[in-house]
Amino acid sequence: MPARSRSSLPNLLSAARILLMPTALTAALAGSKPWFVTLLAVALATDAIDGFIARWLRAESDFGRKLDSAADYLTLLLGLAGIALLWPDIMHRELPWVAAGLTMFFAVIVFGFLRLGRAPCYHTRLAKVSAVSCALSLVPLLGEWTATPFHVAMVLQIIGGVEELAIALLVPWHVGEVPTVVHALRLRRRHLALTKPGATATP
């Protein structure tokens, strides 16, 4: 595979997710649980591997992070819409948990635009763990086995949102990945040290 094609592969996976989710919602509107579940599973699988592939191919970019975030937003919103259509009783029962997770989700986006002029794309470790746990929790939730894993995923979503808000406050100038709030504190200290009068950058 040519180098240019390899470098664009992660972005193609994110773009595929953007195309898959409207199709999944169409399946939900048609009342097809098998097709909705299949398309959602494929979309979640691309979400699980695109970041890994980007790092493996050293094809990480600001555009790729933004595209991945846009695909994540669409997957979340259309995925929830599809679940509400096909499993209304479950959605009604879990509405307080869903509302709590969505409130934090939108709070991070709104705060990002107000504070940074853009949606944060930090791709923190906790956000990745939250995304995986949320995806896996759908199996026991929709299978009517237990909702506990879903509740845990929503708690992780809220904690991860608080961490992203803290990162935005600590390093509003930073564009790119910030794995944890500890990394944000280090970036802030480094920035303050370099902006002191007479400070010089270390090689």
DSSP for 90-139, please give it.
HHHHTHHHHHHHHHHHHHHHHHHHHHTSS------HHHHHHHHHHHHHHH
Taking only the tens place, the pLDDT of each residue in 83-115 is: 999 999 999 999 999 999 999 999 999 999 998
Question: Is the distance from CB of 121 to CB of 66 less than 8 angstroms?
Answer: yes
Instruction: Name the pTM for this structure.
Output: 0.84
Closest among 130, 13, 27 to 82, alpha carbons compared: 27
Task: Round to whole Å and give the CA distance between 196 and 193.
Answer: 6
Q: What residue spans define the domains of the chain?
A: 1-86, 88-203
Residue 203's pLDDT is 45
Residue 199's pLDDT is 52
Residue 68's pLDDT is 86
Among 3-7, 41-45, 68-72, 162-166, the least confident range: 3-7
Residue 174's pLDDT is 79
Residue 121's pLDDT is 84
Residue 67, SS3 per DSSP = helix
**What length is written for the chain?**
203
